[in-house]
Structure 1
Amino acid sequence: MRWGFVFVTMIAALLFSILPVTAAELQAQPVWIAVNDELLTFPDAQPELRGGTTYVPVRFVAEAMQADLTWVPVTSLVTIYKDGRHITLDTANGILKTDLGEQHRVDLYTQDQRLMAPTRLMSESLGYQVSYIASGPISRIKDDSAKLTDEELAAKFKARIDKEKAKWEAEHPAQQPVPEAPKPDKVVYLTFDDGPNAYTEQILNTLKEQGVTATFFVLGPQIEQHKDLAKRMIDESYSVGLHGMTHDSKKIYRSPQTVVQEMEDCNKILTQATGFRTAIMRVPYGSKPWMPQNYRDATVNAGYHMWDWNVDSYDSKSSTRTADETYTEITNQVSGKKNAIVLLHDKKTTADALPKIIKWLKDNGYAFERIYGSTPPVNFWNDQR
């Protein structure tokens, strides 16, 4: 059975992972799509060229391929099946997974409430060939059943394309390029480990009052105890990453597989509590020396991107650590950094210090960012996978 649907309920999940596009990227160009010897027609969302990549409405291209398509709201996963092959689009994290175990970061976005994905990667992962016919332009998806050459296909549909192109150009007069907003000179990522717990609500309240964002690396058992706070993190558009299950080095680091399993178990709990699955993780105690190459390979193959920090607040150094000591440690370490990833924990003294920390960061020109699945990871191994 092929599923026909509009991705209405998907949009909320997509908002957590899709990065904003620049004005220049929004000025997309038209492109025509052919599957074998037929030029497709799209009823609402249209294919487009963005940054040299062709994007298509997933549902209609899957139908033209005579492929089966399923959508699982709780996991935000779209899977396409065709002749024994399949691909999965992880819409929450911007990842395309193939049946060969490959994982690719991709831009996934919605147009007229339709999920859009890159044509070539999606099609080739299902066993098709993709050719680009510049005279259209036409992005042609084909297999052994195609009879026409690319030149013959272009000639067959030239009159239709010329007519549709003239209509598009009349409706989209040439615009002057819109300059991109300047990127901030200094960026800070506030990251909180070990929650959610009794102090997370105070932290969330402060972040909301101050109008800044952050990233939370959560523990599975803590999510189960504070599902409302985990859901609030998602609902208020903070980033959520995984911190595992046990926070016990003797258990989690027994093998590459135990690290992956803890992250998978944590992700399952997160998904059950919030409907959101994440691709970012931070291992307990930092990745050195615990995550050598074979451990990192295992987590990458499982679809995860590993984060450490470059500013340690030492807020968990001792039970007598004060809010003022945490504030001083952060301001001393952040000074001079253009890109600061600050390690904090869901602790009472940290929550008390947070308003003062945020004020100092604002006063010193830092823009607050959260970690996305597509953000290049920063870790002690310089492994940006």
Structure 2
Amino acid sequence: MDVNLHSHLTQVLSVEDVSQVGHARRTVQRLAEQAGFDETDCGRVALVVTELASNIIKHAQHGELHVRLLPGDVSGGVAGVEIIAIDRGKGFDVQNCMADGFSSRGTQGIGLGSVLRQAQVFDVHSDPRGSVLLARFFPRKAIVKDLPMGITQQSLHDDPACGDVWEVAVKGQQVSIMMIDGLGHGPEAEEAGMAGARAFIRNPFADPGALLDDLHFDMRGSRGGAAALVQFDGATGKLRFTGIGNIGATLIGDDKNRGIPSHPGIVGLQYRKVAPIDYADCTGQLLIMFSDGLQSRWNLRDYPGLMYRHPAIIAAVLHRDYSRGTDDVTVLVMALETFND
């Protein structure tokens, strides 16, 4: 699986009134058409969006749908559509709601089991703090391999410019990730982040120290920013990290969490060169990276079972419960595994 993923904002659709259900359905249908879905596949997406949005209103009164395009692989693979339904309701019994025909408050009662059949990738987490449901769609005849990664990126006050910028490259068993938080927010912060992204894209699998130098060179003359680079080798299980500034990073395993330290400085302006940090035996663990728009005092173990859910569910829960609301915010979660074709 060779994939290049580029920074883009998550599209957020508010669901607070029944009139917004139709708007959500039409918006996501257009996204499916943009991805090349035919009429039948667009219908699958529309059915699920309608049910998810209706459920939010009836059970939680208000919530959001987070939607984005999922790009195909570098060989021209098919694109997909991701829908994440998020609310702060009282939660629900997942097992009961998986049954077709079950409806506690007069919805269509197609059940989450039907959503599971319509979507190629499906997962859900629900507890007394609310519910998050993931559905990923691809053309029904396509053969796809889901990338075990989730990301949410939102700008302050829905500004079209975002100072947070990320990139992900997957080549065989190797993964390389970049996250930059340009100083401040708005167009000038975005310009700083995009300058670093262009340097990363040129050679994403270069030595991390040399790659950080390239980011620094290309970001000169801009505001500069915090930056973090992660490289993971699925064949050996080794992870390398180098970070300057306040990009947070954590490795989460079954038995312990490991915070990954960054160093002081501003990429593009001034920082002291540091050697990358190596971590062995990371296969099977979760990598979580986040800009400082997310509070750092969270613990996945406060959410029973969440660490075993899809990374997109985890990213959405963390954003829902720990976004500061005072800055751009990006949360990236990846399950570190062997990336076989």
TM-score bracket, shorter-length normalisation? under 0.3
**Which structure shows the higher strand fraction?**
2
Instruction: Give the alignment's TM-score, normalised by structure 2.
Output: 0.27
Instruction: Give the alignment's TM-score, normalised by structure 1.
Output: 0.25
